[in-house]
Structure 1
Amino acid sequence: MIERAAAADAGEILTLQRAAYVAEAQLYGDPFIPPLVESLEQIRKIIDTAIVLKALDAGRIVGAVRGQLSGTTCRVGRLVVAPDRQGQGLGTALLRALHEQVPEAEAFDLFTGHLSDGNLRLYRRLGYRETSRERMDDHLTLVHLRRTTDRPPPQR
């Protein structure tokens, strides 16, 4: 089941986020990536100001994603799935649910690291296409991707 997160979910989402991003930190040799140093208060604020969806299984939060509408573009962030539930379609379900939650968005933008092959496969499978690369330092290049909607732009 996927539903909107509430402020009371912030602690569990933070714990899930940290568990999910440990592998990314190891992949890039950086224990200080933003998802691992984000605070509980920052997550509460995001829940209050953005669309944060959570995937539940028997009352446990096993996945989450956030989206922030900026004009007609939804910026997607922090797609996380519990390590013991990865590879079961939860990431796909969360992203599809976010796409449905923001019908006014004409595009969805996100980024991931260049070594994150599983993430890149998932995003491409869901219609995201690479738009640019941004070298952050010697060990990290961010890959920016965009998914556009199939409907025509609104009449002005």
Structure 2
Amino acid sequence: MRADTPPEPAVTAAAPEDAGPIWSLQRAAYLTEAQLYGDPYLPPLTEGREQVRASFDRGPVLKAVLEGRIVGAVRGVAADRAFLVNRLAVAPDVRRRGIGRALMAELERRAAADHPGLERFALATGHGSEDNLRFFRSLGYTEASRERLSDHLVLVHLGKPAPGAAPGEPVP
């Protein structure tokens, strides 16, 4: 590795004892979303440490570790034939280094391996989160619908087919 090449994060399964650092990371990562929408009560910011810990019982939670620090996390849950991606978070000081992409690739790989009948991946982000929308589109996600949550926030629901899903199936 060249001296000017930043180290790669290690993406692995998180453990319940990682809930505290993941909770702190999530709050730091979603602060920019709160500022964008002028809303400090977005669900990722109001979720408590125990709710993060409880997410380990519902589905996989992955973490990205760089130089001993958790710098990224994502979680998901299987629901019928879909896999719902939730709470992708990358520390603001290490964004745009491929951490989110690595987390998403590993989560999708694990979900497809663990759920052979999986037809699609689904997630949601805010309508004004242009960087997030651009990022998810670059991963193959397309817009399925929009849902108004309040005067200032519309959720954009995105989806993409799981590997092996029949072509032409609807992707909500």
* TM-score of the pair, normalised by structure 2: 0.86
| Misfit runs of 4+, over 2 Å | none
Work out the CA distance in 2 between the residues paired with 1:49 and 1:135: 26
Q: CA deviation at 1:59?
A: 1.6
1:62-101 to structure 2, matched below 5 A, reads 62-101=71-110
Q: 1:64·1:79 contact (CA, 8 Å) conserved in 2?
A: yes
Work out the CA distance in 2 between the residues paired with 1:129 and 1:49: 25
CA RMSD after TM alignment:
1.0
Work out the CA distance in 2 between the residues paired with 1:56 and 1:143: 29
SS of the residue corresponding to residue 102 of structure 1 reads helix
State the partner residue of 2:141: 128
Deviation per residue, 1:28-58 (Å, 9 max, x gap): 0000111111011101110232110000112
Work out the CA distance in 2 between the residues paired with 1:58 and 1:99: 24
**What are the ranges of 5 or more consecutive residues in structure 1 without an aligned counterpart?**
none
State the partner residue of 1:116: 129
SS of the residue corresponding to residue 3 of structure 1 reads strand
1:19-30 to structure 2, matched below 5 A, reads 19-30=28-39
Specify whether residues 152 and 108 from structure 1 end up closer, same or farther in structure 2 by C-alpha distance, changes over 3 A only: closer
State the partner residue of 2:50: 41
Q: 1:75·1:110 contact (CA, 8 Å) conserved in 2?
A: yes
Among 144, 152, 156, the residue aligned to 1:139:
152
Q: 1:7·1:48 contact (CA, 8 Å) conserved in 2?
A: no
Among 11, 33, 45, the residue aligned to 2:20:
11
State the one-letter code of the partner of 1:113.
G
* TM-score of the pair, normalised by structure 1: 0.95
SS of the residue corresponding to residue 55 of structure 2 reads helix
Tell me the number of residue pairs that the alignment of Structure 1 and Structure 2 aligns.
Answer: 153
Work out the CA distance in 2 between the residues paired with 1:71 and 1:88: 33
- Percent identical among aligned pairs is 52
